[in-house]
Amino acid sequence: MGLGYSLLVRPFLALMDSEKAHRRAILGLRITSFTVFGRMLLRVLYRPRNVESETFGMNFSNPLGLAAGMDKKAEAMRGWETLGFGFIEVGGITEHEQDGNPKPRMFRSSKHDALINRMGFNNPGSAKMALHLSKCRKPSIPLFLNVGKSKVTSLEDAHLDYAKTVELCGPYVDGFVINVSSPNTPNLRELQKDEDLARIIEAVQEHSGDKPVLVKIAPDLEDMQIKSIVDTSRSLGCAGIVATNTTISRPDESPIMSENGGLSGRPLKSRSTEVIRLIADHTDGNWPIIGVGGIANSEDAWEKIANGASLIQIYSSMVFNGASVIKDIVNGLDRKLKSKGLTNLHEAIGIARGD
């Protein structure tokens, strides 16, 4: 963590309502990355080395991406790119605009380095998002769109909701993540069942062209269910999987842990890695996995990659450690590759499985 961040920013953020702090951080990044001078400053302070890789037929300057939910409305894409992320996932976006759940709906536990959120897909809806994306400069790094289901849409019509968002926003992004794993839209996770998932994937594929479509899963599923989702998604031609979303389980009974919603950060780390390993073993390491959940340093990142993740993402550790975590993770991975005598990231993927 940057010393400046831990001394100056973190104590203030700790006093502030979590969502307000989040909005200010995004605004700050947007403003800083607006000018050439600001971007130069961000590069000097934060930009990591290149750790190149190729997945989904795309080139990544490094395997670390911004996880969904941090920049729901794609407001600071240039900022994330300048900070040195290898790719960005914006959203979740639903067909219809919605406010999400009543506030407060985002909670921090510094004791656990964890967040609990029950945002409920607050987002501008696919038509406004498409208009916004059409006016933005497209980042030079791969851009994925996280797609959810509107609360007003029934489970029977869910596939139409997902498909509409992909149809409208599709031209402006490089790939799609079907989110059937948020715990904060009633019954959404039921859509992880085979027939429902298949219907959604097929409807999305009518509009996705040859861009990769991935499925994002929950960590709270049984192993059998996970394998079944993998088989369904893979057989229908999905490009890979994002593992995992937030968990509804809790590490202990401290008061903050009684808040409803999805838990992310350190307590999610080992379960997320377990799910990644399960999927990598089930697919013999032949199907790309984006690993996400509790990554806060290069050791955590290495563990995800060594167990089968081709790419990785972070959300919570950005909140607790600031933007310097990007450089820490990517430069640490670079050092790790070199110390093990590996020449590229590809050689590290699944290395703990003996791939």
Q: Which residues bind ligand FMN (CB under 6 A)?
A: 67-69, 91-92, 106, 115, 117, 119, 146, 179, 182, 216, 245-246, 264-265, 268, 292-295, 314-317
Phi, psi dihedral angles at 177 (to 5 degrees): -120, 115
The three-class DSSP label of residue 215 is strand
Kindly tell me the burial class for residue 115, based on how many C-beta atoms sit within 10 Å of its own C-beta (0-12, 13-18, 19 or more).
buried
Question: Which residue's CB atom is positioned nearest to ligand FMN?
Answer: 69
* Cβ-Cβ contacts under 8 Å for 348 (sequence gap 6 or more): 302, 305, 306, 336, 337, 340, 342
Amino acid at 77: M
Instruction: Give me the helices (H) in the chain, please.
Output: 3-4, 10-15, 18-32, 36-46, 77-83, 126-135, 158-169, 194-208, 223-235, 269-282, 298-306, 316-321, 324-339
Residue pair 124/73 in contact by the 8 Å Cβ criterion = yes
Given CA atoms 119, 125, 130, 136 in this order, what sign does their dihedral have? negative
DSSP state, 121? -
Residue 109 annotated as catalytic: no
- Measure the CA–CA gap between 119 and 126, rounded to whole angstroms: 17
Amino acid at 241: I
Q: What is the DSSP string of 4-37?
A: HIIIIIHHHHHHS-HHHHHHHHHHHHHHHTTSHH
Nearer to ligand FMN, 19 or 52 (CB): 19
The three-class DSSP label of residue 53 is strand
* Cβ-Cβ contacts under 8 Å for 118 (sequence gap 6 or more): 101, 105, 106, 183, 184, 259, 260, 261, 262
Given the residues 126, 182, 233, 324, the one annotated as active site: 182
Phi, psi dihedral angles at 136 (to 5 degrees): -85, 150
CA distances from 33 to 30, 69, 133, 327 (A): 5, 20, 17, 17
Residue pair 43/285 in contact by the 8 Å Cβ criterion = no
Residues assigned a catalytic role: 182
